[in-house]
Amino acid sequence: MITLQNLLFDIPIWLLGMLAIVGIALIVSGNRQQHKGFTRAGMAVLALGVLLMVLSYFIDTDQEKVIKRTRQLVHAVEVRDTATMTALLHPDVTLYAWKKADIIERSRALADRANLTEARVNSTDAIQPDRDLISVSLSVAAHFKDAFYDNIPTAWDLSWVRTPSGWLLRDIRVKPAGPGGIDAQLRDIFEQGN
């Protein structure tokens, strides 16, 4: 869903480049022809481009906020920060059979047991089908200390919902990660609920 917020605050680089080219062309054309109107129009277009660039840099769209929160969650799992996980998870969050308390405690325990040393987000893709829901697909590479199974790819689908206290994670699903992935093993662990 394209919103006015996305149009104003998540400006594509090519559009900013186009505004710069048009602005410079108008300024050069106005100076050559001694036409003040073209020069002023070129300066206005350049100023608009700079304004949009500054707005895009300093104001986050909902999708950008959710991607930042997704990265915070991955980092919280990596460093076993249960307070951050608690703050980012919706009270009714699910990970297959796991509920919020299970997710927080068991993700910490699994990270400890497997000697997780780093969880690196390789890619994220956020779509906003409606105002109060953002779905994020991400791939994460997991690194383990002293293990023969280092650098394991995992892929996830996360559903974030808008709440009065901000965007909270409501649903987590494992998806196939490709060769070398452990998606089937992870699904088995989460579906058991133990």
Pair 125, 107: CB distance under 8 Å: no
**In this structure, are 126 and 113 located in the same domain?**
yes
- Which residues have C-beta within 8 Å of that of residue 52, sequence separation ≥ 6? 8, 11, 15, 16, 19
Q: CATH number, domain at 96? A: 3.10.450.50
- What pLDDT score was predicted for residue 154? 87
**In this structure, are 84 and 157 located in the same domain?**
yes
- What pLDDT score was predicted for residue 31? 84
- What pLDDT score was predicted for residue 77? 95
- What pLDDT score was predicted for residue 58? 86
Quote the domain boundaries for residue 32: 4-58
Pair 72, 89: CB distance under 8 Å: no
Place of tokens 């997710």: 103
**In this structure, are 31 and 95 located in the same domain?**
no
Instruction: Determine the Cα–Cα distance for residues 175 and 3; give it in Å rounded to an integer.
Output: 28
Q: Please give the tally of structural domains in the chain.
A: 2
**In this structure, are 42 and 93 located in the same domain?**
no
**In this structure, are 130 and 71 located in the same domain?**
yes
Pair 140, 120: CB distance under 8 Å: yes
- What pLDDT score was predicted for residue 144? 85
Instruction: Encode 104-138: b = buried (16+ Cβ within 10 Å), e = exposed.
Output: bebbbeebeeeebeebebeebebebeeeebbebbb
- Which residues have C-beta within 8 Å of that of residue 64, sequence separation ≥ 6? 10
Give pLDDT tens digits along the chain (194 positions).
556 666 666 778 888 899 999 999 999 988 888 888 989 999 999 999 999 888 888 888 899 999 999 999 999 999 999 999 999 999 999 998 899 999 999 999 988 888 889 999 999 999 998 989 999 999 999 888 876 667 788 899 999 999 999 999 999 999 876 665 666 777 777 776 55
Instruction: Determine the Cα–Cα distance for residues 19 and 182; give it in Å rounded to an integer.
Output: 46
Pair 135, 158: CB distance under 8 Å: yes
Backbone angles phi, psi at 64, to 5 degrees: -65, -40
